[in-house]
Amino acid sequence: MRSRLYALSLASALALASPVVIVPTPASAQDAANDANTQYRKAFEALAQKNWPEARRLLLPLWHDAQTWDVASGLGQAEFLLGNHAAGATYTAFALAHVPPKEKPKTAERLRDALSEMKEAVATVRVSVNEERAEILVDHELVGTSPLAREIYLDPGTHSLRARLANGGLSEQTLAVEAGKSYQVSLIVDKPVAPAAASEFTAPSNADPPVHDDRASPNWAPVLVTGGLAVTALAIGTGFAIDAHSAKSKGSNALSDAEAQFGENPCTPAKGGGSELCHSVQDAEDRRKSSNTAATVSFVISGAFAVAAVGSYFLWAKPTTPRFDAWVGPDSGGIRLKGRF
Protein backbone atom coordinates (compact mmCIF):
# COMPACT_ATOMS: atom_id res chain seq x y z
CA MET A 1 0.00 0.00 0.00
CA ARG A 2 2.79 2.41 0.94
CA SER A 3 4.63 1.66 -2.32
CA ARG A 4 1.48 2.49 -4.25
CA LEU A 5 1.01 5.75 -2.36
CA TYR A 6 4.64 6.66 -2.95
CA ALA A 7 4.33 5.94 -6.68
CA LEU A 8 1.36 8.29 -6.92
CA SER A 9 2.97 11.11 -4.94
CA LEU A 10 6.30 11.01 -6.78
CA ALA A 11 4.63 10.62 -10.17
CA SER A 12 2.71 13.82 -9.40
CA ALA A 13 5.96 15.58 -8.51
CA LEU A 14 7.59 14.43 -11.73
CA ALA A 15 4.63 15.69 -13.73
CA LEU A 16 5.61 19.20 -12.67
CA ALA A 17 9.25 18.80 -13.68
CA SER A 18 10.71 20.24 -16.86
CA PRO A 19 12.64 17.93 -19.23
CA VAL A 20 16.31 17.78 -18.34
CA VAL A 21 18.57 19.92 -20.55
CA ILE A 22 22.25 19.00 -20.76
CA VAL A 23 24.78 21.36 -22.39
CA PRO A 24 28.00 19.40 -23.07
CA THR A 25 31.01 20.48 -25.15
CA PRO A 26 30.08 22.94 -27.93
CA ALA A 27 30.85 20.53 -30.80
CA SER A 28 27.89 18.25 -30.05
CA ALA A 29 25.80 20.36 -27.68
CA GLN A 30 22.53 20.45 -29.63
CA ASP A 31 22.50 16.76 -30.65
CA ALA A 32 23.44 15.55 -27.18
CA ALA A 33 20.79 17.75 -25.54
CA ASN A 34 18.13 16.43 -27.93
CA ASP A 35 19.17 12.82 -27.23
CA ALA A 36 19.08 13.42 -23.47
CA ASN A 37 15.62 15.01 -23.65
CA THR A 38 14.32 12.14 -25.78
CA GLN A 39 15.70 9.56 -23.35
CA TYR A 40 14.23 11.49 -20.40
CA ARG A 41 10.77 11.52 -22.00
CA LYS A 42 10.98 7.77 -22.63
CA ALA A 43 11.94 7.21 -19.00
CA PHE A 44 9.03 9.37 -17.87
CA GLU A 45 6.66 7.29 -20.02
CA ALA A 46 8.08 4.10 -18.47
CA LEU A 47 7.42 5.52 -15.00
CA ALA A 48 3.85 6.38 -15.97
CA GLN A 49 3.41 2.80 -17.22
CA LYS A 50 4.96 1.45 -13.98
CA ASN A 51 7.73 -0.19 -15.98
CA TRP A 52 10.31 0.35 -13.23
CA PRO A 53 13.20 -1.70 -14.76
CA GLU A 54 12.97 0.18 -18.07
CA ALA A 55 12.75 3.55 -16.33
CA ARG A 56 15.83 2.71 -14.27
CA ARG A 57 17.74 1.57 -17.37
CA LEU A 58 16.99 4.83 -19.17
CA LEU A 59 17.64 7.13 -16.23
CA LEU A 60 20.98 5.74 -15.00
CA PRO A 61 23.02 6.98 -18.03
CA LEU A 62 21.43 10.42 -17.66
CA TRP A 63 22.42 10.45 -13.97
CA HIS A 64 26.01 9.55 -14.82
CA ASP A 65 26.16 12.42 -17.36
CA ALA A 66 24.42 15.10 -15.25
CA GLN A 67 23.22 14.66 -11.68
CA THR A 68 20.02 16.72 -11.80
CA TRP A 69 17.10 16.75 -9.38
CA ASP A 70 14.47 15.55 -11.89
CA VAL A 71 16.56 12.53 -12.95
CA ALA A 72 17.19 11.75 -9.27
CA SER A 73 13.48 11.88 -8.47
CA GLY A 74 12.70 9.41 -11.27
CA LEU A 75 15.50 7.08 -10.14
CA GLY A 76 14.25 7.32 -6.56
CA GLN A 77 10.82 6.13 -7.61
CA ALA A 78 12.14 3.31 -9.82
CA GLU A 79 14.71 2.00 -7.31
CA PHE A 80 12.29 2.05 -4.37
CA LEU A 81 9.56 0.19 -6.23
CA LEU A 82 12.14 -2.35 -7.47
CA GLY A 83 12.86 -3.12 -3.80
CA ASN A 84 16.10 -1.11 -3.57
CA HIS A 85 14.73 0.99 -0.73
CA ALA A 86 17.96 2.60 0.47
CA ALA A 87 18.95 3.63 -3.06
CA GLY A 88 15.46 5.01 -3.68
CA ALA A 89 15.56 7.11 -0.52
CA THR A 90 19.06 8.40 -1.36
CA TYR A 91 18.04 9.56 -4.84
CA THR A 92 14.82 11.13 -3.54
CA ALA A 93 16.69 13.02 -0.80
CA PHE A 94 19.07 14.39 -3.46
CA ALA A 95 16.11 15.48 -5.61
CA LEU A 96 14.47 17.24 -2.65
CA ALA A 97 17.70 19.06 -1.75
CA HIS A 98 18.20 20.33 -5.31
CA VAL A 99 14.70 21.34 -6.45
CA PRO A 100 15.24 24.70 -8.22
CA PRO A 101 13.40 27.76 -6.88
CA LYS A 102 11.48 28.17 -10.16
CA GLU A 103 9.59 24.90 -9.54
CA LYS A 104 6.16 25.05 -7.94
CA PRO A 105 6.16 24.65 -4.13
CA LYS A 106 4.00 21.53 -4.48
CA THR A 107 6.88 19.73 -6.19
CA ALA A 108 9.14 19.92 -3.13
CA GLU A 109 6.16 19.20 -0.88
CA ARG A 110 5.34 15.95 -2.69
CA LEU A 111 8.97 14.87 -2.77
CA ARG A 112 9.17 15.56 0.97
CA ASP A 113 6.08 13.42 1.57
CA ALA A 114 7.50 10.64 -0.61
CA LEU A 115 10.82 10.67 1.28
CA SER A 116 8.96 10.56 4.59
CA GLU A 117 7.15 7.41 3.46
CA MET A 118 10.41 5.87 2.24
CA LYS A 119 12.11 6.41 5.59
CA GLU A 120 9.68 3.94 7.12
CA ALA A 121 11.31 1.19 5.02
CA VAL A 122 14.95 2.12 5.73
CA ALA A 123 17.22 3.14 8.59
CA THR A 124 18.43 6.74 8.74
CA VAL A 125 22.06 7.16 9.85
CA ARG A 126 24.10 10.27 10.58
CA VAL A 127 27.88 9.80 10.69
CA SER A 128 30.40 12.12 12.35
CA VAL A 129 34.20 11.78 12.21
CA ASN A 130 36.72 13.43 14.53
CA GLU A 131 38.91 14.43 11.56
CA GLU A 132 37.99 16.46 8.49
CA ARG A 133 38.44 15.24 4.90
CA ALA A 134 38.18 11.60 5.92
CA GLU A 135 36.57 9.30 3.35
CA ILE A 136 33.38 7.68 4.67
CA LEU A 137 32.53 4.21 3.33
CA VAL A 138 29.45 2.08 3.88
CA ASP A 139 29.89 -1.61 3.05
CA HIS A 140 33.16 -0.66 1.26
CA GLU A 141 31.38 1.92 -0.96
CA LEU A 142 32.39 5.58 -0.75
CA VAL A 143 29.46 7.83 0.24
CA GLY A 144 31.30 11.12 0.93
CA THR A 145 33.92 12.87 3.03
CA SER A 146 33.76 14.36 6.50
CA PRO A 147 32.08 16.47 7.65
CA LEU A 148 29.13 14.70 6.01
CA ALA A 149 26.03 16.89 6.26
CA ARG A 150 23.54 14.55 4.61
CA GLU A 151 21.85 11.48 6.05
CA ILE A 152 22.76 7.95 4.94
CA TYR A 153 19.93 5.50 4.25
CA LEU A 154 20.49 1.78 4.85
CA ASP A 155 18.37 -1.29 4.28
CA PRO A 156 17.61 -3.26 7.47
CA GLY A 157 20.45 -5.55 8.51
CA THR A 158 24.12 -5.34 9.48
CA HIS A 159 26.43 -2.88 7.78
CA SER A 160 30.09 -1.86 7.96
CA LEU A 161 30.86 1.86 8.40
CA ARG A 162 34.41 3.04 7.91
CA ALA A 163 36.33 6.34 7.94
CA ARG A 164 39.84 6.59 6.53
CA LEU A 165 42.40 9.35 6.08
CA ALA A 166 44.75 9.71 3.14
CA ASN A 167 47.76 9.28 5.46
CA GLY A 168 46.55 5.88 6.70
CA GLY A 169 44.30 6.68 9.70
CA LEU A 170 41.33 4.29 9.91
CA SER A 171 38.22 3.67 12.02
CA GLU A 172 35.57 1.00 11.44
CA GLN A 173 32.30 0.10 13.14
CA THR A 174 29.67 -2.57 12.50
CA LEU A 175 26.07 -1.41 12.87
CA ALA A 176 22.85 -3.47 12.92
CA VAL A 177 19.87 -1.32 11.84
CA GLU A 178 16.09 -1.65 11.69
CA ALA A 179 13.61 -0.05 9.31
CA GLY A 180 12.06 3.22 10.42
CA LYS A 181 14.71 3.99 13.06
CA SER A 182 17.42 6.67 13.24
CA TYR A 183 21.03 6.18 14.35
CA GLN A 184 24.01 8.40 15.21
CA VAL A 185 27.49 6.97 14.60
CA SER A 186 30.76 8.60 15.71
CA LEU A 187 33.97 7.32 14.12
CA ILE A 188 37.26 8.13 15.85
CA VAL A 189 40.21 8.01 13.46
CA ASP A 190 43.63 7.50 15.04
CA LYS A 191 46.33 9.50 13.31
CA PRO A 192 49.38 7.41 12.37
CA VAL A 193 52.56 8.27 14.28
CA ALA A 194 54.92 10.35 12.17
CA PRO A 195 58.41 8.86 11.72
CA ALA A 196 61.18 10.41 13.83
CA ALA A 197 63.05 13.22 12.13
CA ALA A 198 66.45 12.29 10.76
CA SER A 199 69.42 13.51 12.81
CA GLU A 200 71.21 16.59 11.55
CA PHE A 201 74.19 15.92 9.32
CA THR A 202 77.20 18.18 9.60
CA ALA A 203 79.48 18.25 6.61
CA PRO A 204 83.20 17.86 7.35
CA SER A 205 85.15 21.09 7.38
CA ASN A 206 87.13 20.13 4.30
CA ALA A 207 84.03 19.40 2.21
CA ASP A 208 83.52 21.45 -0.89
CA PRO A 209 80.98 24.23 -0.37
CA PRO A 210 77.63 23.72 -2.14
CA VAL A 211 77.34 25.23 -5.56
CA HIS A 212 74.37 27.58 -5.99
CA ASP A 213 72.96 28.21 -9.42
CA ASP A 214 71.58 31.74 -9.35
CA ARG A 215 69.72 31.27 -12.60
CA ALA A 216 65.97 31.18 -12.04
CA SER A 217 64.25 27.97 -13.17
CA PRO A 218 61.18 28.45 -15.37
CA ASN A 219 57.89 27.79 -13.56
CA TRP A 220 55.17 26.78 -16.00
CA ALA A 221 52.49 25.94 -13.40
CA PRO A 222 50.85 29.42 -13.25
CA VAL A 223 50.76 29.61 -17.06
CA LEU A 224 49.19 26.17 -17.43
CA VAL A 225 46.62 26.77 -14.66
CA THR A 226 45.46 30.18 -15.89
CA GLY A 227 45.53 29.04 -19.52
CA GLY A 228 43.45 25.97 -18.66
CA LEU A 229 40.92 28.10 -16.78
CA ALA A 230 40.68 30.45 -19.77
CA VAL A 231 39.92 27.53 -22.13
CA THR A 232 37.39 26.07 -19.67
CA ALA A 233 35.56 29.39 -19.27
CA LEU A 234 35.53 29.79 -23.07
CA ALA A 235 33.99 26.32 -23.51
CA ILE A 236 31.33 27.02 -20.86
CA GLY A 237 30.50 30.39 -22.46
CA THR A 238 30.17 28.74 -25.87
CA GLY A 239 27.84 26.12 -24.42
CA PHE A 240 25.60 28.80 -22.88
CA ALA A 241 25.63 30.76 -26.14
CA ILE A 242 24.43 27.66 -28.01
CA ASP A 243 21.70 27.13 -25.41
CA ALA A 244 20.60 30.78 -25.76
CA HIS A 245 20.34 30.34 -29.53
CA SER A 246 18.28 27.16 -29.03
CA ALA A 247 15.96 28.98 -26.60
CA LYS A 248 15.52 31.85 -29.06
CA SER A 249 14.56 29.42 -31.83
CA LYS A 250 12.13 27.61 -29.54
CA GLY A 251 10.54 30.91 -28.48
CA SER A 252 10.13 32.04 -32.09
CA ASN A 253 8.37 28.80 -32.98
CA ALA A 254 6.06 29.09 -29.96
CA LEU A 255 5.26 32.73 -30.80
CA SER A 256 4.43 31.78 -34.40
CA ASP A 257 2.06 29.08 -33.15
CA ALA A 258 0.43 31.56 -30.74
CA GLU A 259 -0.02 34.14 -33.54
CA ALA A 260 -1.60 31.49 -35.73
CA GLN A 261 -4.06 30.65 -32.96
CA PHE A 262 -4.77 34.05 -31.37
CA GLY A 263 -3.71 36.61 -34.02
CA GLU A 264 -1.33 39.57 -33.71
CA ASN A 265 0.07 40.25 -30.21
CA PRO A 266 -1.27 36.88 -29.10
CA CYS A 267 0.00 36.90 -25.50
CA THR A 268 -1.92 39.92 -24.21
CA PRO A 269 -4.40 39.28 -21.36
CA ALA A 270 -7.30 39.86 -23.75
CA LYS A 271 -6.11 37.08 -26.04
CA GLY A 272 -3.98 34.07 -25.17
CA GLY A 273 -2.04 35.49 -22.21
CA GLY A 274 -2.82 32.51 -19.99
CA SER A 275 -2.40 29.83 -22.64
CA GLU A 276 0.28 27.15 -22.60
CA LEU A 277 1.73 28.53 -25.84
CA CYS A 278 2.27 31.97 -24.28
CA HIS A 279 3.84 30.36 -21.21
CA SER A 280 6.20 28.55 -23.58
CA VAL A 281 7.12 31.85 -25.23
CA GLN A 282 7.90 33.44 -21.85
CA ASP A 283 9.87 30.41 -20.61
CA ALA A 284 11.98 30.40 -23.77
CA GLU A 285 12.68 34.11 -23.44
CA ASP A 286 13.70 33.72 -19.77
CA ARG A 287 15.99 30.87 -20.68
CA ARG A 288 17.53 32.89 -23.55
CA LYS A 289 18.26 35.85 -21.27
CA SER A 290 19.81 33.76 -18.49
CA SER A 291 21.95 31.77 -20.96
CA ASN A 292 23.08 34.99 -22.69
CA THR A 293 24.06 36.46 -19.33
CA ALA A 294 25.97 33.31 -18.35
CA ALA A 295 27.72 33.24 -21.74
CA THR A 296 28.78 36.89 -21.41
CA VAL A 297 30.13 36.35 -17.90
CA SER A 298 32.01 33.22 -19.02
CA PHE A 299 33.61 35.03 -21.97
CA VAL A 300 34.70 37.91 -19.73
CA ILE A 301 36.21 35.47 -17.24
CA SER A 302 37.93 33.60 -20.09
CA GLY A 303 39.49 36.86 -21.29
CA ALA A 304 40.68 37.71 -17.78
CA PHE A 305 42.34 34.32 -17.39
CA ALA A 306 43.92 34.63 -20.84
CA VAL A 307 45.48 37.95 -19.80
CA ALA A 308 46.63 36.33 -16.56
CA ALA A 309 48.22 33.47 -18.53
CA VAL A 310 50.22 35.92 -20.65
CA GLY A 311 51.32 37.80 -17.53
CA SER A 312 52.25 34.52 -15.83
CA TYR A 313 54.48 33.62 -18.76
CA PHE A 314 56.56 36.77 -18.42
CA LEU A 315 56.63 36.65 -14.61
CA TRP A 316 57.35 32.95 -14.01
CA ALA A 317 57.97 30.93 -17.17
CA LYS A 318 60.43 33.54 -18.46
CA PRO A 319 62.04 34.84 -15.25
CA THR A 320 64.00 38.03 -15.05
CA THR A 321 67.39 37.91 -13.35
CA PRO A 322 68.72 41.49 -13.46
CA ARG A 323 72.25 42.26 -12.35
CA PHE A 324 74.17 45.49 -11.83
CA ASP A 325 77.87 45.94 -12.51
CA ALA A 326 80.23 48.88 -12.98
CA TRP A 327 82.60 49.62 -15.80
CA VAL A 328 85.42 52.11 -16.19
CA GLY A 329 86.97 53.23 -19.49
CA PRO A 330 89.83 55.55 -20.41
CA ASP A 331 87.58 58.58 -20.55
CA SER A 332 84.33 57.51 -18.83
CA GLY A 333 82.63 55.08 -16.47
CA GLY A 334 79.17 53.95 -15.42
CA ILE A 335 76.78 51.28 -14.10
CA ARG A 336 75.25 48.60 -16.30
CA LEU A 337 71.98 46.64 -15.77
CA LYS A 338 72.18 43.15 -17.28
CA GLY A 339 69.47 40.54 -17.34
CA ARG A 340 66.88 38.62 -19.37
CA PHE A 341 63.43 40.25 -19.82
Give the per-residue pLDDT at 190: 82
**Domain boundary pick from 62, 92, 119:** 119
Instruction: Looking at the structure, tell me whether residues 102 and 136 fall in a common domain.
Output: no
Last residue of a domain, one of 97, 119, 141: 119
Report the pLDDT value the prediction gives residue 153, as an integer from 0 to 100.
96
d(CA 155, CA 7): 19
Whether 232 and 127 map to the same domain: the answer is no
- Total domains in the chain come to 3
Do 131 and 67 fall within a single domain?
no
Residues 279 and 324 both lie in one domain: yes
- Where is the domain boundary, 55, 85, 119? 119
Residue 154 shares a structural domain with residue 230: no
In a domain, 214, yes or no: no
For the chain, 341 residues long, the average pLDDT of each consecutive 10-residue run is 48 44 50 79 90 93 90 93 94 93 90 94 94 91 91 96 89 94 92 57 50 55 76 85 85 78 74 73 84 85 79 61 52 54 46
The answer to whether residue 264 sits within a structural domain is yes
68 plus 41 within the same structural domain: yes
Find out whether 128 and 187 touch, Cβ atoms under 8 Å.
yes
Q: Is residue 198 part of a domain?
A: no
Q: Which of 248, 245, 304, 280 lies closest to 23 in space, CA to CA?
A: 245
> Is the Cα torsion angle 315, 320, 321, 323 positive or negative in sign?
negative
Chain-centroid distance, C-alpha 10: 24
pTM, entire model: 0.51
User: Does any domain span residue 334?
Assistant: no
What is the extent of the structural domain holding 237? 221-328
Same domain, 140 and 109: no
Residues 17 and 50 in one domain: yes
